[in-house]
């Protein structure tokens, strides 16, 4: 009678512990970390602001409006490039004499350019960052239209007059025609994130171009010399597509505790069950390979022989990759492939039932061996 009570108590304890173990496993599978992965994407920029053209005139008289549109691609969190078109108006000034006001005149132009953009905030990438900041460098062309003919003639007549130039031998303006000049730029940007798709930002660039840009012949008749201007614009940067994706990395599974062994020790006091020693085989692979080598094939047969000799036994196969080479994406694929190829061999070559095979893969996040190369392995434990 006492033996029956002992057996009943042991069975109830086993059921309770097994239920707890299942509940704990289900909770653990939901634990882990979320990793943010940058996604290359196209973007559109719409900007407006002002331009200051350097020259011999009061600062306020050399300010003019400016707009810019750009289409580009963000290749990495740090590196992006765009094709930009800047246009509207430029100004240049001249001084009538020492005691008279300084004057300015205006002209229109277009400036297409190819720009490289370096985002310093991307070196520590996170989609949660609010501020991006970096530098811009580009090369393009300044395509300037001709001035109004009456304005040009009046300006040229005055600048070549004795009132402006007593010597009478200075030609202050180039020929009034459109010109296409090489343009180089360098500047900085500051963007503030509004949403995953929209950023509002400020951009300042310094531009250096040929001396015919403002028509003033300060570099000689051959057009040598240079002109320069500064742009300051504000606007929106709109992402055309997803800027990042997420990847869930589950927490490592807890160690399996075989509660039924405790039951055996309690129930079968008079007649202990025969102890079956587990079988472990480590099947090693070559770098970047998921093929079982001939030298390792006997280990797979050992597992199959063990399972055939012990019909109640099952096998757990875990694939790994070494952390010394590759990255998480490559190593996850290799580890899974190394587990899959052993499972396939047991099922198709040796006829082991699928219900007796469990498998998992750890990538390179878990390293069972101290030696890096030994971690290109599938560890098989049958019991």
Average pLDDT, the chain: 83
Residue 96: pLDDT band (50, 70, 90) is low
Closest listed residue to residue 97, CA positions, set 142, 159, 146, 54 = 159
pLDDT bucket at 18, cuts 50 / 70 / 90: very low
> Looking at the predicted structure, is the pLDDT value of residue 17 above 70?
no
Residue 62 pLDDT grade (very low, low, confident, very high; cuts 50, 70, 90): confident
- Give the model's pLDDT for residue 213: 85
Residues in the chain: 383
Task: Average the pLDDT over 221-231 and give the result.
Answer: 76
Helix/strand/coil (H, E, C) string of 224-271? CCEEEEEEEEEEEEEEECCCEEEEEEECCCCCCCCCHHHHHHHHCCCC
Between 2 and 49, the more confident residue is: 49
Q: What is the phi/psi pair of residue 333, to 5°?
A: -65, -45
Weakest-pLDDT range from 150-159, 192-201, 227-236, 298-307: 150-159
Residue 271, judged by CB atoms within 10 A of its CB (0-12, 13-18, 19+), counts as: exposed
Residue 23 has pLDDT above 50, yes or no: no
Rounded distance, CA 42 to CA 70, Å?
11
> Can you give the pLDDT at residue 106?
81
pLDDT digits (tens, 9 = 90+) for 320-374: 999 999 899 999 999 999 999 999 999 999 999 999 999 999 999 999 999 999 9
Residue 121 reports pLDDT greater than 60: yes
* Confidence grade of residue 28 (pLDDT, cut at 50, 70, 90): very low
Q: Any idea which of 3-7, 86-90, 155-159, 194-198 has the lowest mean pLDDT? A: 3-7
Own/partner pairs for 338-344, CB < 8 Å, 24+ apart? 338/283, 338/285, 338/290, 338/376, 338/377, 338/378, 339/378, 340/290, 341/290, 341/291, 341/292, 341/378, 342/283, 342/292, 342/300, 342/317, 342/378, 342/380, 343/317
pLDDT of residue 261: 55
**Which has the higher per-residue pLDDT, 239 or 16?**
239
Q: pTM of the entire structure?
A: 0.55
Residue-level pLDDT at 378: 95
Instruction: Tell the burial category of 375 from Cβ atoms under 10 Å away from its Cβ (0-12, 13-18, 19+).
Output: buried
pLDDT band per the 50, 70, 90 thresholds, residue 27 = very low
């Amino acid at each position: 009678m006492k033996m029956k009570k002992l057996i009943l108590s042991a069975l109830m304890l086993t059921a309770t512990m097994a239920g707890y173990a299942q509940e704990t496993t289900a909770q653990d599978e939901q634990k882990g970390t979320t990793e943010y992965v940058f996604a290359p994407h196209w973007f559109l920029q719409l900007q407006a602001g002002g331009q200051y053209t350097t020259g011999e005139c009061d600062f306020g008289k050399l300010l003019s409006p400016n707009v810019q549109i750009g289409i580009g691609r963000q290749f990495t969190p740090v590196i992006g490039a765009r094709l930009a078109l800047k246009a509207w108006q430029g100004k240049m000034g001249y001084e009538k004499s020492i005691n008279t006001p300084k004057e300015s005149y205006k002209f229109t132009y277009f400036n297409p350019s190819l720009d490289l953009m370096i985002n310093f905030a991307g070196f520590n990438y996170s989609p949660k960052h609010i501020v991006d900041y970096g530098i811009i460098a580009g090369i393009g062309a300044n395509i300037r239209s001709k001035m109004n003919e009456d304005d040009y003639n009046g300006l040229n007549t005055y600048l070549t007059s004795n009132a402006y130039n007593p010597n009478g031998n200075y030609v202050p303006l180039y020929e009034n025609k459109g010109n296409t000049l090489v343009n180089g730029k360098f500047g900085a940007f500051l963007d503030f994130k509004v949403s995953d798709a929209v950023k509002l930002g400020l951009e300042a660039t310094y531009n250096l171009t040929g001396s015919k840009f403002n028509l003033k012949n300060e570099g000689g008749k051959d057009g040598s010399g240079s002109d320069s201007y500064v742009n300051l614009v504000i606007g929106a940067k709109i992402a055309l597509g997803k800027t990042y994706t997420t990847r869930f990395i589950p927490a490592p599974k807890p160690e399996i505790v075989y509660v039924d062994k405790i039951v055996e020790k309690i129930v079968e006091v008079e007649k202990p069950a025969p102890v079956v020693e587990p079988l472990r085989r480590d099947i090693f692979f070559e770098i970047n390979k998921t093929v079982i080598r001939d030298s390792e094939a006997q280990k797979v047969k050992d597992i199959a022989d063990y399972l055939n000799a012990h019909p109640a036994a099952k096998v757990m196969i875990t694939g790994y990759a070494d952390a010394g080479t590759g990255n998480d994406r490559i190593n996850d694929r290799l580890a899974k492939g190394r587990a899959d190829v052993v499972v396939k061999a047991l099922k198709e070559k040796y006829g082991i039932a699928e219900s007796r095979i469990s498998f998992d893969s750890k990538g390179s996040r878990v390293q069972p061996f101290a030696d890096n190369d030994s971690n290109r392995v599938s560890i098989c434990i049958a019991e």
